[in-house]
Amino acid sequence: MSTQLRPRPATAWIWPLVAIAGEAITIFPRLRWINIYEDQAVLSGQAMQVAAGQVPYRDFFAAIPPGAIFMYAGYYKLVGATVVNQRLLTGLAMLLGVGLVAFIGQRLVGPAWAAAVGLLWGVWLPVFEEFSPYHFWSVSLILAMTAALLAARSSKRPIAAFVLAGFAASAALIMLQSSLPAAVAGFVVAWLIERRISRSVFPMLVAMVIPGLVVLVVLGLLGALPAFFTDTVVYTFQTFGASQALPFPWQPALLHDTSFWEASIGALWAIAMHWLLAVVAPVAVAVLTVVALWRERRALGQVPAWPLVGVVAVGLFSSVLVVHMSDQNFWLSCPLTLLLVSIPLKRMLAGLSPSRVAAGVAAAPVAVIYLAGLSPLVLGYALVCHTDGTGFLREVSTPNGSICTTFDSAPIVTGVLKFTSQHDGALAFMPLGASLYQITGRVPPVPVLFLLPGVTPPAEVARTEKAMRSLPVVWVIYYTIDFSKDLPAIQQLQDGSPSQFDQFLLEAYQRDDQDGLVVFRLKS
């Protein structure tokens, strides 16, 4: 791998802006897309609850730190909680991440290549739009930390750059606690840049700790601190992580989440491409980074830029292994790896003779297929939202504008909109219909929005049941999906026995199906 390249000042911002513009084009067609089951809907529902005056951890269960919850809550207070509004704020995190990849990469491969790598990584992010937004924000903030650390190498005021890196790392952790390995990697990089800890690690540590302490104090004043540790820290690293982990890395076929309908044709070979670039490549980068740092251990000058980036890349990869091993997380966490992989690729292409270039042109179809597997732009009809009852995506009108959903979800969404317009009283979409709150604009009346047997703690299920009785929740629109293949380690999903929540419904509610929906009505 090569040492850093210093781009001309004029290109320092132009090429990142080009990459951001390209990313915006991929985000725009998906602003209205939503499925009934989406992870992002849980965060969106929690933000709606906070905007309505509730407190996370104290008034409702949340498995994540409060950063994204309060960010989206404040945003909803200003502009309203709609599908498009949520997509716009999440899209901002994607644009920020792509721009930072393009900016960081200029030191490694030059401006044009860096922008291309940023866009190559970014075009898949809208495909994972249904993924929880705090993942996008956390990775983008780690990239901001990396950019600040690299700036410290040549800054006249390196301490200020280290402080900025600390703030970015703190924000990433407040968004997602499993980003801790990446934040720790940032401290290693700070020490490699400036061996005097008092001028590098210490100011970065102070800048990272202070915001975290402020958050803990605020949660304490709100009476939510004890539940934050049990519902977020303990739950994430014990219950959730154990249920989500997939075999690594020998079975790439199990990185199956790219088969979402949004990926369309590209999903047919994207699994293999993601496995190579987001699972295998980070392992190789980790080895090469360790070797490079070992060789540089007695060097008196600066450590080259690429091993520093490699340290953070390894930290991001480790963050994925802490909790959830799926292709979305792997891909979200591999932008720095992609930059490092492009270094030898660029050198190889630069040294090709004319005859080899001709041979490369002959192999162009193979390259097209390979790159198509890395790009969801091969979408064809899937990008078209139909209004005539045909096609894969159907348009549905809501009080806040039209949305676009899959053909099998459209009848349910239409029925829910009709039902909510005709019935008053508290209504819950359970156990996995959190997106319906965002679609209808109804604030969730329950403390837990997502009930999955074997994953949701029994105490939280009981908490939901108690809230439904005391409010009371008059109507329950029942929506669930089969997770047995996705979570083979959860025995309760494999035996098909009624869940704790299903038993509660049979005791407290009576079946009253309407408008093509499975509906339960509170017994009088």
| pLDDT above 70 for 259 | no
Between 8-22, 144-158, 249-263, 269-283, the lowest mean confidence (pLDDT) is in 249-263
53 burial via Cβ count (<10 Å: 0-12, 13-18, 19+): exposed
At 248 the pLDDT is: 55
Which pLDDT does position 500 carry in this prediction?
Answer: 87
Q: Is-contact 438 44, C-beta < 8 A?
A: yes
- Sign of the C-alpha dihedral, residues 108, 112, 117, 123? positive
Residue 76 has pLDDT above 60, yes or no: yes
Among 8-22, 223-237, 273-287, top mean pLDDT goes to 273-287
Instruction: Compute the average pLDDT of residues 190-202.
Output: 92
Least confident of 88-97, 298-307, 471-480: 298-307
Q: Is the backbone peptide bond immediately before 498 cis, with ω within 30 degrees of 0? A: no
Q: How far apart are CA 419 and CA 516, in angstroms?
A: 10
Nearest one of 114, 486, 135 to 330, comparing CA atoms: 135
Q: Over the stretch 313-336, which tens digit does the pLDDT of each residue have?
A: 999 998 888 765 555 788 889 999
With bands split at pLDDT 50, 70 and 90, how would you rate the model's confidence at 152? very high
Nearest residue to 93 via CA among 75, 117, 110: 75
SS3 assignment, position 353: coil
Instruction: Show the beta-strand stretches assigned E in 341-426.
Output: 385-386, 393-398, 401-406
Please give the average per-residue pLDDT across 234-240, as a whole number: 65
Residue 140 clears pLDDT 80, i.e. is over it: yes
Higher pLDDT, residue 191 or 400: 191
**Residue 203 is encoded by which pair of tokens?**
């100011």
State yes or no: pLDDT of 441 exceeds 70: yes
Averaged pLDDT for residues 269-282: 79
Sign of the dihedral defined by the CA atoms of residues 236, 238, 244, 248, in that order: positive
Beta-carbon neighbour count of residue 223 at 10 Å? 12
Q: Beta-strand (E) ranges in 417-485?
A: 427-431, 475-479
Higher pLDDT, 314 or 380: 314
pLDDT at residue 3, as a whole number:
46
Residue 147: which of 13, 323, 301 has the closest Cα? 13
Nearest one of 469, 452, 470 to 461, comparing CA atoms? 452
444's torsion region: left (phi>0), alpha (psi -120 to 50) or beta? Answer: beta
Res. 57: pLDDT tops 80: yes
∠ CA 482-380-256, nearest 5°, is 30
More confident residue, 245 or 468: 468
As a whole number, mean pLDDT of residues 453-482 equals: 89
Across 161-175, 365-379, 429-443, least confident range: 365-379
Query: Of 50-64, 246-260, 274-288, 351-365, which gets the smallest average pLDDT?
Result: 246-260
| Percent of the residues in the chain that have a pLDDT greater than 70, as a whole number | 81
What pLDDT sits at residue 261? 43
The domain ranges of the chain are 11-357, 385-522
CA distances from 150 to 103, 142, 436 (A): 11, 12, 44
**For 29-43, 322-336, 457-471, which range has the lowest pLDDT when averaged over its residues?**
322-336
Distance CA 56, CA 47 (A): 9
Residue that wins the pLDDT comparison between 318 and 493: 318
Q: In whole angstroms, what is the distance from residue 331 CA to residue 275 CA?
A: 9
> pLDDT band for position 2 (50/70/90)?
very low
Question: What proportion of the chain, given as a percentage, has pLDDT over 90?
Answer: 48
Mean pLDDT, the chain, rounded, equals: 84
For residue 413, the model assigns a pLDDT of 93
Q: Are strands 401-406 and 393-398 parallel, antiparallel or unpaired?
A: antiparallel
Distance CA 303, CA 280 (A): 25
Query: At a CB cut-off of 8 Å and minimum separation 6, what does 6 contact?
Result: 107
Average pLDDT value for residue range 205-233: 91
Q: Do 59 and 447 touch, CB atoms closer than 8 A?
A: yes
What confidence tier does 409 reach under pLDDT thresholds 50, 70, 90? confident
